[in-house]
Amino acid sequence: MNKPRDIPELYLNRELGQLAFNRRVLAQAENRATPLLERLRFLCIVSSNLDEFFEIRVSGLKAEIEAGSPAIGPERMRADQVFRQVAKEAHELVAAQYQLLNQEILPGLVNEGIRFLRRADFTPAQAEWIKAYFLREVMPVLTPIGLDPAHPFPRVLNKSLNFAVELEGKDAFGRNSGIAIVQAPRVLPRVIRLPREISEVEYDFVFLSSILHAHVGELFAGMKVVDCYQFRVTRNSELFVDEEEVKDLRTALRGELPHRQFGDEVRLEVAANCSPQISDFLLAQCNLGQDDLYRVDGPVNLVRLINVPDRVERPDLKFAAFRPGLPAQLERPGDLFSAIRDGDILLYHPFQSFQPVIAFLEQAARDPAVAAIKMTVYRTGAESELMEILIGAARSGKEVTVVLELLARFDEEANINWAQRLEEVGAHVVYGVVGHKTHAKMLMVVRREEERLKRYVHLSTGNYHPRTTKLYTDFGLFTCNEEIGADVNDIFIQLTGLGRATKLKHLWQSPFTFHKQILRAIQNETEHAKNGGKGRIIAKMNALLEPETIAALYEASKAGVEIDLILRGVCALKPGIPGVSENIRVRSIVGRFLEHSRVFYFHNGGAEDVYLSSADWMDRNFFRRVEVCFPVLDPKLKKRAINEGLRPYLEDNSQAWEMDPEGHYHPKPPRRGKPVAAQDALIEMLARGPSA
């Protein structure tokens, strides 16, 4: 009899799972109960997600097709098979996006006094202002390129806005190529608000594309513009740096970053009115086929609309604001070191404030008793209060060590810049371990107290990024537990020095013990169930893909272990299959905040072990990254982690989607009684109330 690991039918494809997740995000935009400006934001989030999907996942599929790679996933699908399904699903998803934009969201905004004007809608005063704006702000930075033997088709930047202009007539040199390309520089805003004095409603916006369409003829004096079509090219954005060959990773990466803008083409987006001749011409120039062409009825880059809700002062069209709360230990301002000595502190963002983490680092930076600060940084953004505090601490003479991951995708440039600034003030900066991204979230402060050194630690499921802590759900734990502090210290020594991995007391660490410990914990529940006891697993994470872990969950289910999986994104496991996974339930929560926390519960004969982690159950997290999974030891905090990090999501009947045995998600039908939305319930439970 075949084991689950060897049965392809028991596994789902990753790329198709990612598209299914984006379909669930789009459902938030489709939901008329979602505030109107938030519906627009969700629509933009789908586009942003799709951009990265094409840049990374689709580009990878194309590379596999070109190389003739065999089927390698547990579901045993070839790359060409996956690509055909991906193309079909992606085209349907994009069509649904623009249909929603044009039929519901834009008309709804018009009814609220928020318009996006088309050229045909310009009043004489608006047309005059727009022409002046074009001549003053736009035309001076445009470089039209007429195509001829001396001017071949330009290598347009990744995801940039471009225009293909059809022309008639001859130019000053007698040339008549019939077509020109105009690239819109990224310094130009894509959405411009018109002055209130020439607006007929409170908010009149105009797209840069509409302004260019209206006045593109100014760029081609004496020639006739037959038509003008906007288009956008998405490129392979993976960076190729051989970490084992380069002598200086930062220098090599800095040299590689510019090439991201000019990787191989993977997708072409054109306006719906683009003529077949022009779209075929553009496809040929990009070496793409018809499956790679996306015709859209509106702006080719909806991501550029994502900031519009922030520019519109209409609280009634947005989610209700709230003030993040604080745990009882931190309600009164005071010495954070003393508060942590009194007991571990658990924070659940964004329902509770991230400010204590900033305050902890600030206090450490100015405290003369603090001897050293060590921190891992994966994503922190181009501007970061935390990084500025670290720079100040190093400048004041403290021993500051930062393990900074240069290969954090799409944050490489920001991290390179932080590395340089930290080194300039004397901080120790290391880039982790060759071949393993450092994805663990750890902050350790070493403080001299009563003639001895004491470690204070903050461990987190999410990045030290103050902006995303307001948008992502994540747990953070403060502790001065000596054994956990020793574990964290050992990991920092691994990352900065050389030597074999030491045995840790409490932390599970990738790539050494995390996978083994997860399998051991699942097997332990399996044995409890086989012996007539209770087997229970609840796991919340972003993705579940690693085949051996899935096979272990199938075996646990067959033994009678009750398993609930709360998965925001991709899940390769199929629940509810008789004889295999009838005791497994899979649900996905998609709401106002991005579900990012990883919480693992194992009943363990009544001990109820709870772990928090930076890692999903994926091959890369288990084997190709440095990750930590840490226990919640304090009984009260363990109860909090269950009651806040798991139970509300299992009770959700408003934002939950449940997976069927075929891998399809369906909205959780509300039963009789009060509707429950996990994130709303957590705001009510943990926040301080409405924003002042």
Active site residues: 439
DSSP state of 55: I
Using CA atoms, how far residue 158 sits from 142, 280, 474, 609, in Å, is 17, 19, 32, 47
Which residues share a beta bridge with 404? 377
Give the integer Cα–Cα distance in Å for 76 and 86.
Answer: 16
Using CA atoms, how far residue 253 sits from 59, 246, 392, 420, in Å, is 20, 10, 26, 13
CB 254 within 8 A of CB 412: no
For 320, residues 6+ apart whose C-beta sits below 8 A from its C-beta are: 690
CB 573 within 8 A of CB 12: yes
- Cis bond leading into 575, ω under 30°? no
Give the integer Cα–Cα distance in Å for 92 and 243.
Answer: 39
Give the pairing type, strands 594-595 and 472-479: parallel
CB 221 within 8 A of CB 131: no
- Burial label for 431, CB within 10 Å (0-12, 13-18, 19+), is buried
- Identify which of 530, 518, 576, 531 has the alpha carbon closest to the alpha carbon of residue 556: 530
Q: Return the residue matching tokens 């390179």.
A: 416
163 SS3 class: strand
Give the integer Cα–Cα distance in Å for 385 and 401.
Answer: 17
The DSSP line for 184-209 is --TTS-SEEEPPGGG-SSSEEEEEHH
Take residue 446 and report the two structure tokens written for it.
């070493």
- Identify which of 677, 211, 415 has the alpha carbon closest to the alpha carbon of residue 668: 677
Q: Rounded to a whole number, what is the distance in angstroms from the first to the last CA of the chain?
A: 63
In terms of phi and psi (left: phi > 0; alpha: psi -120 to 50; beta: otherwise), the region of 450 is left
| Distance of alpha carbon 543 from the chain centroid | 12
